[in-house]
Amino acid sequence: MVVSVLMVAEKPSIAQTLADALSPNRKYSTRSGVSPACKVHEYEGDFYGQRAWFKVTSCAGHVYSIDFPPEYNNWDRVEPLTLFGAPTVKMEANPKLRMPKHFQTEAKGCSYLVLWLDCDREGENICYEVMDNALPNMSSAGRQQQVWRAQFSSLAPVDLKRAMANLGSPNKDMSDSVDARAEMDLKLGCAFTRFQTKYFQGKYGDLDTNLVSYGPCQTPTLWFCVRRSDEINAFQPESYYTIDIQLSKGGKDLALQWDRGQVFDMPVASLFMNVVQEDQAKAVVTDVTQKEDRMARPQALNTVAMLKMASTRLGLGPQQAMHMAERLYLDGYLTYPRTETNTYPKNFDLQGAVRAQTGHPAWGSYSNDLLSWGLSRPREGVDMGDHPPITPVRAATEGQLGDAYRLYDMITRHFLATVSGDCKFMRTRVHFDINHEGFSISGRKVIDPGFTAIQRSGEMEDVVIPDFAKGETVEIKKVSMGSHKTRAPPYLSESDLLSLMEKHGIGTDASMATHINNICERNYVKLAEGRRLIPTQLGIALVHGYQMVDNELVIPKVRANMEYNCTLVAEGKAEILPVVQHCLRLFREKFIYYVKNVDLVDQLFETIFKSLEAAGRPLSRCGDCQRYLSVVDRKPVRMFCKTCNRIFKMPQNGQMKLYKELKCPLDNFELVFVSNKVGKSYPICPMCYDDPPFGAREEQGKHWNLDHPIYKKYRPAVMSCIADNCPGTLCLDVDSGPKWQIDCNICLQQLSIFEDKAHKIKATTDFCDECSSVLLDVVFNKGKSPLPDGATERKACLVCDEVFNAQTVSKTGKNFVRRSPGKGKGKGKGKKGGKGKNKGMSEEDKAEQRGRDQRGQHLGRRHGGLGSQCVGAGPRRQLRLGDLLKQLPVPMVENVKLKLHRDRARSSC
């Protein structure tokens, strides 16, 4: 009998690697699954002595994320205090991936489940998310164990086969610790963030941040930076003095070091200066010592050490370095990069790891030499019982890895250094006496470079000094008194901050990089030269304000206690419910006290930031008081009425100006014209945008509502959007002449119509009998009319009329590029900001970007890449609307027409 075995990895690339490594002779088939992101690889093999049909698939990270029920997500209606006792729900992390249905479908008929998730707490948590969907649909395995857990640290075939032969069970305690931390972070973080965001953004206009956030890890991380800033500001430089002696021997000038180092009183320094100058004194050699010394080889590399080295040596931010390391792991070049262990287990194959590097062009010969001489035993460190230290698995060149090669190079050289010998050198120290004052000079000569021969930095160099004999007298060339000042400590570097976070238990090896990135993105710190973190005024004001109210809100001790409690849960020494209840009860009391005393924080903000009125510029008139509304252009963009004391949310990207001094017929507010950065412009009413009179409130800001009278007049509906999966409507931009265009009210779809040939275009009240689109009444310019016989007027449908259709071009808006405002911050590969999709975008622009992506995928999938599929992919290729409809399959054309008919029926209702 053949049994079915479902094996689930954490990422699609790992699933394919598993199939490659475990299938006999690498023979397996691949098919699509329910999830569009995850393939299913199938092969026949043996499972504990039984013939088995294996199905290897994956998830794409967490299947679920924790959140509040929808009724708790309205900031205006839900008091933040209630969030501490609010229920939580697990929702699909990405509904488009359809992961629960994917596992439910693939588990049918399977007798066994083998979980190949990452071997850390988060991986254990994902194990139980997969089990929740798979187990109810699996066949019975009798009395045998149904669920197995693979423990592995490398994606090398030999390690995967070893893990398959030594399967264990998932760890519920580790999974519970992740759930405990997630619930605590969600509730207390949201409560504080919602309260202070509404409070401070309602009073100040130049905070320059969308969220005034609080996080139990993020805030202590910021506290370290602010504490160092306070030390720098409080520092008072102090003068100190040194006696500087210069000798000359063998034509070489030698600077001696004063045994006293320095003194802080100038009269005392002058006294010693006179002493060494008395009677034209000479330097007498009192002692010459030589001693063999050594510099110890480095310890094996854990996650924090890797991130610190990457920041210091490569200039990579922690998050960027972590992403690179994960990519190298997924591609099979490194062992698992999230580990707290910095010592190798006794059974680790160090010989094999070095042998894998013998063919590398840069360090292959060094690796061969190591194998010939014999490996040195790595230094002892701390074994946290999770994963071995970060180690290269196979050799790779720069051409294979691209920019990630820098990190791979650093890690591989460090690994080879850990199994190399110590650096040995001979240290020589010569002591001098000048009128009973002691001075000295030191030199060194390398005997064996050891590990420094392979590391790019830290190679030992000789310091050559002449030979001296005891009792020898040497002429003094120069005597001087040096005057210096003590220096303030520098701002914390990313490496310094990581060390402090590790020392105080803030975050885990997997999350530290994220916390540092968060305080940069929240505008609490700025990344300066040398990757040093300088707190902004907002960051300093927040930390000082917390300290005035409750110092425990920012110091690391409280978070460290939370992490300790979560560790107790992970180790099975505490139950999840009492731990969560205790921490939430503690922070609930702190929250109540903070709300009562927030005026103390407000006093600090008043001295630093401008009020909404002072930070804004007058733009349009309020419909209630007829006074001017001020628009605040700093994040988050909003309008403010001083008289009514009301704030109106506005679109977050784009230019705003008064729209023809026209007023909204519903509330008498003057209309504002918004031209955003994605190629669309439209009028809005501040009151209607902030408090929509039509449609669901959760749709606020995502699109303009066609039921509103200003859009019926100034953006009349023409037809349904032609982009795939977009429910929007294409509307005539009455302000776009003479280069007329039609825009979707949701996505980025745009139609350019008639180029500059049309003088006037009007959307009529008539509809096309074929497709239900609104008929357009067009008056063409004389001499440019495309109509036969020189006619200048026609009323017709853009879709069905051949002349109109030939003059209609489908295109996207301007290139949609978003760059983060900072310089570096550990994101992306760019020099000044990083890269990434949808970074720094408003919800409105994200909705439009999704529509654009869907359109690009649709056109590329069905029409061979027609249309503008991605930014920066070369010149935009324009697609005529008629060509698009002609190339669609007949059923799809009918669907488009059906959609247009439905829109017509809906609009008539």
Whole-number Å distance between alpha carbons of 903 and 906:
5
Q: Which helix (H) or strand (E) holds 22?
A: helix 12-22
Topology annotation, domain 303-340+347-357+378-419: Topoisomerase I; domain 4 (1.10.290)
Q: What is the pLDDT of residue 755?
A: 84
User: Which tens digit of pLDDT belongs to each residue from 535-575?
Assistant: 999 999 999 999 999 999 999 988 888 989 999 999 999 99
The answer, yes or no, to whether residue 162 has pLDDT greater than 70, is yes
Query: Is 3-170 in CATH node 3.40.50.140?
Result: yes
Q: Average pLDDT, whole number, for the chain? A: 84
Sign of CA dihedral 360, 361, 366, 368: positive
pLDDT more than 90, % of the chain: 52
Whether residue 366 contacts residue 373, with contact meaning beta carbons closer than 8 Å, is answered with: no
Give Rg (Cα) of the chain.
Answer: 35
Q: How confident is the model at residue 222 (pLDDT cuts 50, 70, 90)?
A: very high
Q: What is the pLDDT of residue 812?
A: 59
Q: Which helix (H) or strand (E) holds 799?
A: none
User: Which tens digit of pLDDT belongs to each residue from 285-308?
Assistant: 999 999 999 999 999 999 999 999
The two tokens of residue 471 are 């009792």
3-state SS, 243-279, equals: EEEEEEECCEEEEEEECCCCECCHHHHHHHHHHHHHH
Per the listing, tokens 């004391």 go with 645
Distances from the Cα of 43 to the Cα of 3, 37, 40, 106, angstroms = 12, 20, 10, 14
φ, ψ for residue 898, nearest 5 deg: -65, -40
700 or 815: which leads in pLDDT = 700
Q: How confident is the model at residue 898 (pLDDT cuts 50, 70, 90)?
A: very low
Pick the closest to residue 357 from 347, 368, 348 (CA basis). 368
Q: What is the pLDDT of residue 697?
A: 59
Mean pLDDT of 48-62: 91
User: Which tens digit of pLDDT belongs to each residue from 137-149?
Assistant: 998 877 778 999 9
Whether residue 364 contacts residue 357, with contact meaning beta carbons closer than 8 Å, is answered with: yes
User: Which tens digit of pLDDT belongs to each residue from 360-370?
Assistant: 999 999 999 99
Alpha carbon 501 to its chain centroid, in Å, reads: 18
The two tokens of residue 696 are 């669901």
Q: What is the pLDDT of residue 704?
A: 75
Mean pLDDT of 226-242: 95
DSSP per position, 671-725: EEEEE-TTS-EEEE-HHHHHS-SSS-GGGTTTS--TTSHHHHHHS-EEEE--STT
Whole-number Å distance between alpha carbons of 537 and 525:
9
The two tokens of residue 201 are 């953004």
Q: What is the pLDDT of residue 695?
A: 64
Q: What is the pLDDT of residue 699?
A: 58
User: Which tens digit of pLDDT belongs to each residue from 796-828?
Assistant: 998 888 888 888 887 654 332 222 333 333 333
Whole-number Å distance between alpha carbons of 141 and 117:
22
Q: What is the pLDDT of residue 789?
A: 82
Per the listing, tokens 């950065």 go with 677
The answer, yes or no, to whether residue 793 has pLDDT greater than 70, is yes
Whether residue 531 contacts residue 480, with contact meaning beta carbons closer than 8 Å, is answered with: no
Q: What is the pLDDT of residue 841?
A: 47
In 34-96 the beta strands, taken as DSSP E runs, fall at 39-47, 50-58, 64-67, 89-92
Whether residue 730 contacts residue 748, with contact meaning beta carbons closer than 8 Å, is answered with: no
> With left for phi above 0 and alpha for psi between -120 and 50, is residue 315 left, alpha or beta?
left
The answer, yes or no, to whether residue 698 has pLDDT greater than 80, is no
Q: Measured in Å, how far apart are the chain's first and last C-alpha atoms?
A: 62
> With left for phi above 0 and alpha for psi between -120 and 50, is residue 660 left, alpha or beta?
left
User: Which tens digit of pLDDT belongs to each residue from 462-491?
Assistant: 899 999 999 999 989 999 999 999 999 999
705 or 357: which leads in pLDDT = 357
Q: What is the pLDDT of residue 810?
A: 79
Whole-number Å distance between alpha carbons of 805 and 770:
14
User: Which tens digit of pLDDT belongs to each residue from 189-213?
Assistant: 999 999 999 999 888 888 878 889 9
User: Which tens digit of pLDDT belongs to each residue from 610-654?
Assistant: 887 777 788 888 988 988 888 887 778 888 888 888 888 888 777
Mean pLDDT of 279-290: 91
The answer, yes or no, to whether residue 688 has pLDDT greater than 80, is yes
The answer, yes or no, to whether residue 223 has pLDDT greater than 90, is yes
Q: What is the pLDDT of residue 644?
A: 86
Q: What is the pLDDT of residue 458?
A: 60
Pick the closest to residue 486 from 264, 182, 168, 270 (CA basis). 264
Q: What is the pLDDT of residue 510?
A: 75
405 is catalytic: no
Q: How confident is the model at residue 847 (pLDDT cuts 50, 70, 90)?
A: very low
Q: What is the pLDDT of residue 643?
A: 84
User: Which tens digit of pLDDT belongs to each residue from 76-131?
Assistant: 889 999 999 999 999 999 888 899 999 999 999 999 999 999 888 889 999 999 99
Q: What is the pLDDT of residue 909?
A: 41
Q: What is the pLDDT of residue 703?
A: 65
Residue 872 is which amino acid? G
DSSP character at residue 204: B
Q: Of 613-627, 711-725, 817-831, 839-853, where does mean pLDDT reach its minimum? A: 817-831
Residue 754 is which amino acid? F
CATH number of 239-297+424-485: 2.70.20.10
**Residues belonging to the chain:** 909
What residues pair up with 655 in beta bridges, in sequence order? 675
Q: What is the pLDDT of residue 819?
A: 29
By the 10 Å C-beta count (0-12 exposed, 13-18 middle, 19+ buried), 471 is classed as: exposed
The two tokens of residue 651 are 């679109």
SS3 170: coil
* Residue in 43, 204, 336, 682 annotated catalytic: 336
Q: What is the pLDDT of residue 141?
A: 75
Mean pLDDT of 16-35: 92
The answer, yes or no, to whether residue 386 has pLDDT greater than 60, is yes
Pick the closest to residue 402 from 315, 324, 322 (CA basis). 324
Mean pLDDT of 503-530: 89
Q: What is the pLDDT of residue 617?
A: 82
Residue 805 is which amino acid? N
Topology annotation, domain 178-235+490-608: Topoisomerase I; domain 2 (1.10.460)
Q: How confident is the model at residue 851 (pLDDT cuts 50, 70, 90)?
A: very low
Instruction: Domain ranges for the chain, please list them.
Output: 3-170, 178-235+490-608, 239-297+424-485, 303-340+347-357+378-419, 716-909
142 or 67: which leads in pLDDT = 67
Q: How many CB atoms lie within 10 A of CB 3?
A: 18
Mean pLDDT of 371-388: 87
φ, ψ for residue 418, nearest 5 deg: -65, -25
Distances from the Cα of 525 to the Cα of 218, 493, 543, 559, angstroms = 12, 12, 12, 20
Distances from the Cα of 120 to the Cα of 11, 328, 561, angstroms = 15, 18, 20
